[in-house]
Amino acid sequence: MADLSIDFAGIRSPNPFWLASAPPTNSGAQIHRAFEYGWGGAVWKTIGAPVLNISNRYGSLTLGGRRMLAINNVELISDRPLDVNLREIAEIKRLWPDRAVIVSAMVDADPQAWKDIVMMIEDTGADGIELNYGCPQGMSERGMGAAVGQVPEMCQLNTHWVTSVTKLPVIVKLTPNITHIVDPAHAALAGGAHALSLINTINSVTRVDLDTLLVSPSIGGRGTHGGYAGPAVKPIALNMLTELMTDEGVLRSGVPISGMGGIATWRDAAEFLLLGATSLQVCTAAMQHGYRIIEDLTDGLSNWMDDHGFKTIADVTGKSLPQMSTFGGLDLSHQSVARIDQNKCIGCDLCYAACNDTAHQCIDLVSPDGVTVDPGYDMRTNGRQVADTRPRPVVRENDCVGCALCANVCPVDGCITMVTVPSGRQSITWDELTAQRPEIAQSWAAMQAYREEVGIEIH
Ligand SMILES: Cc1cc2nc3c(=O)[nH]c(=O)nc-3n(C[C@H](O)[C@H](O)[C@H](O)COP(=O)(O)O)c2cc1C
Ligand code: SF4
Ligand code: SF4
């Protein structure tokens, strides 16, 4: 059985799953129960500056019947008294010495304010500190959270104020509300951070109620922007993770990354690990389903690791990263085409509509007796007026550019497969090509000449 334990910048936990700093980690009683269920660690709901929370704090995105595909929150940091939080942190660490207890903190951009909170956290016996430079709502208007994470100089300075007064491992939690995530990461490292975590929530307005015309969540008739999280943000989080894990500066520093943003299943977790995360944080999925999901997360990950022969989390971390490339490093000669398994096809024609209307018009509808439906026919009749029996989609492979739109819209798993076919061209990347023939990037005539030379026909 795979060993799920991790050592994250000196913070040990029996499995890589930590509850993220958020409502699931709001109190000692909650975290105690979460640990009983088997969570490997918890990042305490951010403590620090005095706040007053408002009532009606969450909105959410329901799509295609799936509820809470994303949550939007206008919640601030912990509004419980500081001394109560600190007392409970100490108690939890005493009761659960083998679990990771990390305390998230956020105070004014002032060295003394940071020193004071850090000293209080150290006294609890917690394993580490996470600096919350991420929340995009409420606190950022007061110069904290994302307001720090968005300005690398502030990020470095605040981090330095903390790392210079504590021996505890310091994790800097980055905001995704920034164009280039590597800049604040470098700043955090320059400030002495021992680890990074991402992503915090994305700035958003999720919904307007079409009956009441109220922006959701509506706080006494007024709305505001909030932080967006949950399954819908996973691709954004994975991209930011890979941006960090393919950056020379971050790699050279050797700091581990705690990944989060949309982790709801063990499959999501495995993807974050494969792209370089060492620990994994979960918030929205726990808010939707409760602490019990930890059993599925650990069992699923452990079984998958056994199936693949991975013995430790370190064996998985970053395994898929070598595939990551810039566009300029991709092989221009690679050719895929769509293949349809007629035994699985249910004849919905979604692939046909997608290719015909918005891709490259290379799926024909062919009736069983071989009649090809005129592509100009009225889709709404499903070809019945043209062919005697319901026609089937057939890909003209020579014309298929391999965009994969049809495979993405097809509702039947495994019905359309993208298959690699020989292109007959020599392997070459855009970077190699333009290094050899720079004129190709400057002139359409030179581009056309190259295409004719190697036999690329675009229609
Ligand atoms: C309601 C709510 C409150 C949150 N509060 C905090 C917070 O106090 N401190 C913090 O660092 N992140 C906070 N977050 C962000 C989460 O820790 C996490 O970064 C984010 O939700 C992405 O993970 P997820 O997709 O698993 O929810 C909050 C998120 C939600 C949904
Ligand atoms: S891969 Fe793209 S071009 Fe090829 S059949 Fe599908 S939609 Fe059309
Ligand atoms: S989308 Fe899939 S199921 Fe529907 S017609 Fe095309 S191949 Fe068949």
| Ligand nearest to the CA of residue 359, numbered in listed order | 2
* DSSP class per residue in 146-180: HHHHT-HHHHHHHHHHHHTT--S-EEEEPPS-SS-
Mean pLDDT (whole number) for 65-82: 94
Pocket of ligand 2 contains residue 393 by CB under 6 Å: no
Residues in a beta bridge with 103:
44, 129
Query: Poorest-confidence range of 24-38, 131-145, 169-183?
Result: 131-145
- Please count the residues of the chain: 459
Which residue CA neighbors atom 6 of ligand 3 most closely?
A: 351
Longest dimension (CA), the chain: 82
**In Å, what is the CA distance from 220 to each residue of 58, 210, 211, 214?**
13, 17, 16, 10
pLDDT exceeds cutoff 60 at 430: yes
Q: What six digits make up the tokens of 211?
A: 């009956």
Tell me, what DSSP letter sits at residue 331?
Answer: B
pLDDT exceeds cutoff 80 at 139: no
User: In 3D, which of 50, 52, 131, 46 has the Cα closest to residue 89?
Assistant: 46
Give the pLDDT of residue 389.
62
Tell me, what DSSP letter sits at residue 254?
Answer: T
pLDDT exceeds cutoff 60 at 388: no
Mutate to test the pocket of ligand 3, among 351, 357, 390, 406 (most ligand atoms within 8 A of CB): 351
Contact between 59 and 52 under an 8 Å Cβ cutoff? The reply is no
Indicate the pLDDT class of residue 309, thresholds 50, 70 and 90: very high
Contact between 215 and 56 under an 8 Å Cβ cutoff? The reply is no
**CA atoms in the 13 A half-sphere facing the CB of 72:** 18
Residues framing ligand 3 (Cβ under 6 A): 340, 345-351, 393, 410, 412, 415-416
Full-model pTM: 0.95
Which residue CA neighbors atom 3 of ligand 2 most closely?
A: 400
Which residue CA neighbors atom 4 of ligand 1 most closely?
A: 22
| Ligand nearest to the CA of residue 358, numbered in listed order | 2
Indicate the pLDDT class of residue 368, thresholds 50, 70 and 90: confident
pLDDT tens for residues 211-260?
Answer: 999 998 999 999 999 999 999 999 999 999 999 999 999 999 999 999 99
Mean pLDDT (whole number) for 258-274: 98
Per-residue HEC secondary structure of 338-353 comes to EEECCCCCCCCCHHHH
Residues of the chain with pLDDT > 70, as a percent, come to: 97
Strand pairing class (41-48; 100-106): parallel
Angle between helices 266-274 and 234-245 (to 10 degrees): 20
pLDDT exceeds cutoff 80 at 98: yes
Residues framing ligand 1 (Cβ under 6 A): 20-23, 45-46, 71, 73, 75, 77, 104, 132, 134-135, 173, 200-201, 227, 229-230, 233, 260-263, 282-285
Give the pLDDT of residue 459.
74
Mean pLDDT (whole number) for 114-134: 96
Which residue CA neighbors atom 4 of ligand 3 most closely?
A: 348
Mean pLDDT (whole number) for 398-418: 97
Query: Poorest-confidence range of 29-38, 80-89, 133-142?
Result: 133-142
| Ligand nearest to the CA of residue 410, numbered in listed order | 3
**135 is annotated as an active-site residue:** yes
pLDDT exceeds cutoff 70 at 379: no
